[in-house]
Amino acid sequence: MRFQTPLISATLIRRYKRFLADVRLESGREVVAHCPNPGSMTGLQKTGARVWLEPNNDPKKKLGYGWRLIEYPAGNLVGIDTSIPNRVVHEALKLGKIKEVVGYDEIRPEMKYGENSRIDFYLSQAGLPDVYLEVKSVTLRRDAGWAEFPDCVTARGTKHLNELRAMVQQGHRAVMLYLLQRTDCDRFRVAEDLDPAYGAASAQARAAGVEMICYGTDISPQGVLLARPVPIK
């Protein structure tokens, strides 16, 4: 997935009201950027951090910049845009890059299912079991090398796990795909201490046959691409 407009660097001043961030451009001018992440963004809001913005000149948008990446020492990048993982995964599915679910011709995003929910991707192919695939963006890192999800309590995430488990019980395949939006982790685990309910639902889903997979990403100011599989604890 390539960014539509080349990113420019800036310095983070503060994030506030969930969807807004004050930043300082390299010219010294301070502007307000859209923050496309409604979550807690634990560890991703350090004042003075280098961030990467995508400029836009769309008159329909109120803000002229969208915050896409935050950069850490040694050049490690983290993607903060929660819309990017689905775009990366959709592209990878069409190219057959996710080995666990190759061979499916129909790839339908955002299909209604469960209790007033939408599955990120529904895959079907004659002769193969239908696949219900949910994608979660992973940005939390507390210990060296470990990426974790969730970064706070997520009742919505727990609901998704329970609905995937129900799909398995109905005879379908269900896959939870954790996508690491950071370049400094090579292992993944569920943050059970941050959300015990999610941790319990994850264990129940796995025991019921929900497939848990994790992939890393290659991140640069040019774009975000699916990378290697990542082991899950």
pLDDT digits (tens, 9 = 90+) for 55-85: 998 888 889 999 999 999 889 999 999 999 9
Pick from 196, 110, 121: which is nearest to 154 by CA?
Answer: 196
The string of pLDDT tens digits covering residues 114-154 is 778 899 999 999 999 999 999 999 999 999 899 999 999 99
Domains and their CATH numbers in the chain: 8-79 (2.40.50.580), 84-229 (3.40.1350.60)
Question: Helix 196-208 crosses helix 155-169 at what angle (to 10 degrees)?
Answer: 10
229 upstream amide cis, omega within 30 of 0: no
Residue 2 — very low, low, confident or very high, per pLDDT cuts 50/70/90?
very high
Tell me the average pLDDT of the chain.
95
Pick from 99, 102, 171, 162: which is nearest to 134 by CA?
Answer: 162
H or E element in which residue 87 lies: helix 84-94
Pick from 72, 126, 116, 100: which is nearest to 178 by CA?
Answer: 100
User: What's the CA gap between 198 and 97, in Å, rounded?
Assistant: 28
What is residue 59's predicted lDDT score, i.e. its pLDDT? 80
User: What's the CA gap between 17 and 177, in Å, rounded?
Assistant: 29
Pick from 109, 107, 204: which is nearest to 159 by CA?
Answer: 204
